[in-house]
């Protein structure tokens, strides 16, 4: 096997691989970077690889003791493939969009490259506002940060563009954008918790020591944060908060009147967390201290006070889970079938304008079929042009 001998300035035989390791070792083991510092190790390996390549490119006199016709691969390629300096530098990271549905926010972090995390804090910054009141819930959120952790589909669903480079022709890159969220879907406190965690996960000083988002002690903030997770399709994180909120309701933790009043005002009377809180608190009214604390709600929130004292009234607002929505679809299909058969019973819905009363192919009403009539049944039906006649089957 042939050998490559490199002569240095003093005509001393040197090995390029030993020179590369000599350049790399002080950077890695000099005590500059600690063992658990992922970012420091990554930067050290990149600097060592760059220094080793520069050392190989330095002018040196060399000769190859190989027979003619032998093609030896370059030392630069050999170093990049076999050296320890390029082991982690060539690590492959998957696209977060392809694995986002498999992980929560915290387990997703190891699958994102450090360079992409650092780059997420740059670029256009947008405000997050309430779509009904136009109240600013969070200011100057990096757009790349939202795309990185929430996904392009979620950001595209709520983002609105207000200005571009050429506003007259409406061309060019956007210069002013806002994230418009539905009313009462989240709160400023919940967004502050979520965005603060995202920013810390992308900073070089804290990205290696991240932990899952802590569950807030405030009951309203915890419920609002869970609703925010559901809004952004972070279902695994929302489920973790739902379990913690359920444990608070079933434990002996006291629930005060000001907490449930805040939830009633901000989340709405039809919210599932409000229903669960009223049900948990309604079982404790027998205590004298709880009854005295809730007595003030009779004047401020009579509807809330009535649901606290009437178990059956609160059950009317019970959220529907599981497969109960199939019953609604069955009832809807019965109404549609009766309308198509031309039923004139008092308990059935009237046939909308533009739809035939029966399905016979010779009727004159068949030619009057219009997209507007079909949209009466299904508002989301696509635009179409009816062709032919109705089928007997």
Length of the chain: 393
Final residue of a domain: which of 209, 242, 277?
A: 209
Q: Nearest 5°: phi and psi at 163?
A: -155, 145
254 and 200 both lie in a single domain: no
Q: What is the pLDDT of residue 240?
A: 94
362 and 289 both lie in a single domain: no
52 and 140 both lie in a single domain: no
Domains held by the chain: number: 4
**357-388 per-residue burial string, b: 16 or more CB within 10 A, e: under 16:** eeeeeeeeebeeeeeebbeebeeeeeeeeeee
277 and 364 both lie in a single domain: no
Q: From residue 11, give the alpha-carbon distance in Å to each of 7, 14, 20, 230, 271.
A: 5, 9, 19, 70, 82
Q: What is the pLDDT of residue 333?
A: 57
Final residue of a domain: which of 150, 180, 209?
A: 209
Query: Is 171 inside any structural domain?
Result: yes
236 and 173 both lie in a single domain: no
142 and 227 both lie in a single domain: no
In tens digits, what is the pLDDT along the chain, a chain of 393 residues? Answer: 455 554 545 555 555 444 444 444 444 444 444 556 777 777 877 777 777 676 655 555 444 444 444 444 444 444 444 444 444 446 788 999 999 999 999 999 999 999 999 999 999 999 999 998 999 999 999 999 999 999 999 999 999 999 998 988 889 899 999 999 998 899 999 999 999 999 999 999 999 999 999 999 999 999 999 999 999 999 999 999 999 999 888 887 888 888 999 999 999 889 999 999 999 888 877 666 767 778 888 888 889 989 988 889 988 888 876 555 555 555 555 655 665 666 444 444 444 444 444 444 444 433 344 444 434 434 444 444 433 434 443
270 strand-pairing partners: none
271 and 203 both lie in a single domain: no
Sign, Cα dihedral of 260, 266, 268, 272: negative
**Angle (nearest 5°) at CA 204 between 54 and 81:** 35
Query: Is 393 inside any structural domain?
Result: no
Final residue of a domain: which of 209, 238, 267?
A: 209
55 and 128 both lie in a single domain: no
119 and 170 both lie in a single domain: yes
Q: What is the pLDDT of residue 298?
A: 82
In the structure encoding, which two tokens stand for residue 189, read together? 């406190």
Domain extent at residue 343: 325-377
8 and 57 both lie in a single domain: yes
104 and 195 both lie in a single domain: yes
Q: What is the pLDDT of residue 272?
A: 92
Q: What is the pLDDT of residue 321?
A: 66
Query: Is 173 inside any structural domain?
Result: yes
103 and 204 both lie in a single domain: yes
Query: Is 382 inside any structural domain?
Result: no
């Amino acid at each position: 096997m042939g050998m490559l001998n490199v002569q240095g300035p003093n005509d001393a035989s040197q090995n390029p691989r030993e020179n590369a390791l000599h350049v790399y070792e002080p950077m890695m083991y000099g005590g500059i970077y600690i063992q658990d510092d992922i970012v420091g190790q990554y930067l050290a390996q990149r600097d060592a690889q760059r220094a080793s390549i520069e050392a190989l490119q330095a002018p040196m006199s060399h000769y190859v003791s190989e027979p003619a016709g032998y093609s030896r691969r370059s030392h630069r390629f050999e170093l990049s493939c076999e050296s320890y300096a390029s082991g982690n530098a060539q690590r492959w990271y998957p696209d977060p969009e392809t694995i986002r549905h498999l992980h929560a926010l915290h387990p997703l972090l190891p699958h994102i490259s450090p360079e992409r995390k650092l780059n997420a804090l740059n670029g256009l910054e947008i405000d997050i506002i309430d779509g009904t009141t136009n109240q600013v819930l969070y200011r100057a959120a990096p757009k790349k940060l939202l795309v990185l952790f929430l996904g392009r589909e979620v950001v595209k669903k709520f983002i609105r563009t207000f200005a571009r480079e050429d506003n007259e022709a409406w061309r060019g890159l956007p210069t002013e954008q806002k994230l418009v969220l539905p009313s009462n879907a989240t709160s400023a406190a919940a967004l502050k918790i979520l965005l603060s965690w995202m920013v810390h996960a992308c900073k070089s000083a804290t990205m290696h020591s991240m932990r899952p988002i802590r569950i807030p002690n405030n009951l309203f903030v915890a419920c609002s944060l869970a609703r925010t997770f559901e809004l952004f399709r972070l279902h695994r994180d929302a489920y973790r908060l739902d379990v913690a909120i359920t444990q608070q309701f079933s434990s002996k933790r006291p629930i005060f009147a000001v907490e449930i009043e805040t939830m009633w005002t901000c989340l709405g009377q039809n919210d599932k967390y409000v229903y669960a809180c009223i049900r948990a608190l309604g079982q404790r009214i027998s205590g004298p201290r709880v009854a005295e604390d809730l007595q003030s709600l009779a004047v401020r929130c009579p509807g809330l006070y009535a649901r606290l004292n009437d178990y059956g009234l609160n059950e009317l607002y019970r959220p529907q889970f599981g497969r109960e929505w199939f019953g609604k679809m069955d009832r809807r299909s019965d109404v549609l079938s009766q309308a198509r058969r031309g039923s004139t019973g008092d308990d059935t819905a009237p046939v909308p304008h533009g739809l035939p009363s029966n399905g016979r192919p010779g009727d004159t009403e068949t030619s009057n079929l219009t997209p507007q009539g079909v949209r009466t049944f299904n508002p989301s039906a696509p635009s179409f042009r009816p062709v032919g006649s109705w089928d007997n089957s």
